[in-house]
Amino acid sequence: MSNTLAQASQGNTMLVAAAVGSILLLLFFCLVILIKQYKRCPSNRILVVYGKVGGKKASKCLHGGGTFVVPLVQDFAYLSLEPIVIEIPLEGALSLNNIRVNVPSTFTVGVSTDPVLMNNAAERLLMLNVQQVREQAQDIILGQLRLVIATLSIEEINKDREKFMGLINENVAQEVNKIGLELINVNVRDITDESGYIQAIGQRAAAEAINRAKVEVAQQVRDGATGEAIANREKTVGVANERASSIEGEKQAEQKQRIAVAAFEAQAVTGEAQAKRDREIAIAERNAETIAAQKHAEQEQRIKVATAEAQAVTGENTSRESIAESTANLREVEAEARRRAEVATAQSREAALRAEREQELARLAKEVLAPQEVEKQRIEIAAEAEAERTRREAKGDADAVLFKYRAEAEGQRAVLEAKAEGYRQLMLAAGSDPRVAPTLLLIEQLPQLVREQVKAISNLKIDKITVWDSGRSGGQIEGKPGARGATADFLSGMIGALPPVHELAKQAGIELPGALGKVEGQDRVIPHQSDTERDLG
């Protein structure tokens, strides 16, 4: 009995020991899991816990510290805080005054530790490698950099670098913050343009600085010479006339020096005016090229849009045709199934005859009506497609004609503006004598005027030319020998004018009155003459 109790006691002890060991082992495993699932965040990373994180959040972000990641419910990943250097080889960006500039630059960005921006980065950049993040940021920065350049002129970009960098930081930072990045640094390496306008501005600034330096040197020399002259004058008071002549020579030298300085300043002003005129001409040419390129791009865009729309209409018509065919087949199958069901359920001769009648009607509908309906729908679809195609072609032709006339108008306006500028320069050049410019313009157009006059009479057929002269002699002077009186002169001129009058009347087919007489060789007789006319005869 005692042995049995001892054995039972020993068995209970072993069971308790086994249970305690199991509990200890389970606690050990739980402790290992807790230690393994507690994740710590280093200072150069962001710990992102995603899954079921509570509330309506998709993830929980930590910078520093640690947190427990629940197994099977949550998981984790890291976002690196290391800076990312992005090269932006921007070329051909259009400025406010329509001059394309090249702005190669380097941007340094990184994931932000701001709570809102960390969540943005977790939503948009998690699981992406550095190259993928760099490509996304590069596209955003390129667009914003072009936008900033489009709001500034070349002078503002070149002179006010602080404003330029401020606008870049403001616009780029706002856009990269949307994907969880912050702008760390911007380095614009150089600013150039294809037309050399910025280089010309630098040369002009250098020339202005040189001119200012020359003026300042001349002023200092003048001040020194003046002070020296004053000192010499105070020192040589009471000296003989020889010293006075020396001072006079120094003054003459100063006068020559001032004349030379004024000549240099005049040359500088002339060069600046020439550079300004060249810049205006270059700007006008670039504006014309920009307008032509924009019109060409609009034309290509319209052509591509019209092509895509035509392809879309073709696809829609094909789909409609397929749908119509499928619908017709479905109706045929349904009619056949209905006929079989009615035949199968017929119990009598009357029902069989009715089934036969329905079958005959269905056959007629299938063989006659259905193909006609399908053909009708096909014709309607084809007609709609043809009408749509014709309408779109007409619209495209109208747009092309409108673009052609607009381009011709722009070209004519550019030519007229260039001619106006040339005429203005011509008038400025001939400002001292206002008759020179009109004379030069008339000489320029003289070949065209002569050409038009020759065209006007080139096809005329002239068989006779009549010269009508009054018969007077301009060399006679009243009161001298051989001179005629006023009455004799009048009669001579009148008689001398009669033959040309009759000749002109004959050519024109007009019959003159008999009082004017007749020319020898004509058959017409003067019917009546007065006394005065007989005397004249």
**Six-digit token pair at 463?**
């068989």
| 489 Cβ neighbours under 8 A, 6+ residues apart | 472
Q: Are residues 423 and 497 in the same domain?
A: no
Helix axes 349-364 and 241-344, enclosed angle (nearest 10)? 150
Query: Would residue 215 count as lying in a domain?
Result: no
The average pLDDT across 88-100 equals 85
Q: Is the pLDDT of residue 477 over 50?
A: no
* pLDDT above 60 (res 532): no
Half-sphere exposure of 67 (CA within 13 A, CB side): 19
The answer to whether residue 238 sits within a structural domain is no
The domain boundary, picked from 361, 396, 429, lies at 429
- Calculated CA dihedral for residues 350, 352, 355, 359, nearest 10 degrees: -130
> Which residue, 98, 175, 106, 104, is CA-closest to 143?
175
On whether both 120 and 188 belong to a single domain, the answer is yes
User: Which of 144, 173, 194 represents a domain boundary (last residue)?
Assistant: 194
Position with higher pLDDT, 357 vs 5:
357
Does residue 13 sit in the same domain as residue 106? no
Same-domain check for residues 496 and 381: no
Examine the domain organization and report whether 310 and 422 are in the same domain: yes
- Please check whether residues 382 and 497 belong to one and the same domain: no
Q: How far is CA 89 from its chain centroid?
A: 21
Task: Give the residue from 429, 450, 473 where a domain finishes.
Answer: 429
User: Could you read off the pLDDT of 382-405 as tens digits, one per residue?
Assistant: 888 888 888 888 888 888 888 888
Angle between helices 370-429 and 436-457 (to 10 degrees): 130
CA distance 41 to 57: 20
Per-chain mean pLDDT for the chain: 76
Q: How confident is the model at residue 109 (pLDDT cuts 50, 70, 90)?
A: very high
pLDDT category at 313 given cuts 50, 70, 90 is confident
Identify the residue with better confidence: 308 or 373: 373
Given pLDDT bands bounded at 50, 70 and 90, which one contains residue 4? low
Tell me whether residue 370 is in a domain.
yes
**pLDDT over 80 at 489, yes or no:** no
- Which pLDDT score, from 0 to 100, does residue 1 have? 56
User: Rounded to whole angstroms, how far apart are CA atoms 181 and 83?
Assistant: 10
Does 416 fall in a domain?
A: yes
Same domain, 10 and 123: no
- Percent of the chain topping pLDDT 70: 75
Q: Is residue 259 part of a domain?
A: no
Domain count, the chain: 4
Specify the pLDDT at position 488: 61
Same domain, 395 and 323: yes
> 107 — phi, psi (to 5°)?
-115, 135
Token couple for 442: 């008339």
Paired residues of 74 in beta bridges: 51
- Are 25 and 99 part of one and the same domain? no
pLDDT digits (tens, 9 = 90+) for 192-251: 887 777 766 766 767 777 877 878 887 788 787 787 778 777 777 677 677 767 777 777
Structural domain contains residue 373:
yes
CATH code of residue 115: 3.30.479.30
Same domain, 82 and 165: yes
In a domain, 386, yes or no: yes
Query: CB within 8 A of 107, min separation 6: which ones?
Result: 85, 86, 88, 137, 141, 172, 183, 185, 186, 187
Is the residue at 333 inside a domain? Answer: yes
Residue 18's domain comprises: 1-29
In the three-class reduction of DSSP (H, G, I as helix; E, B as strand; rest coil), residue 98 is classed as coil
Residues 496 and 410 in one domain: no
Residue 92 and residue 23 share a domain: no
Q: 10 Å Cβ neighbour count for 531?
A: 7
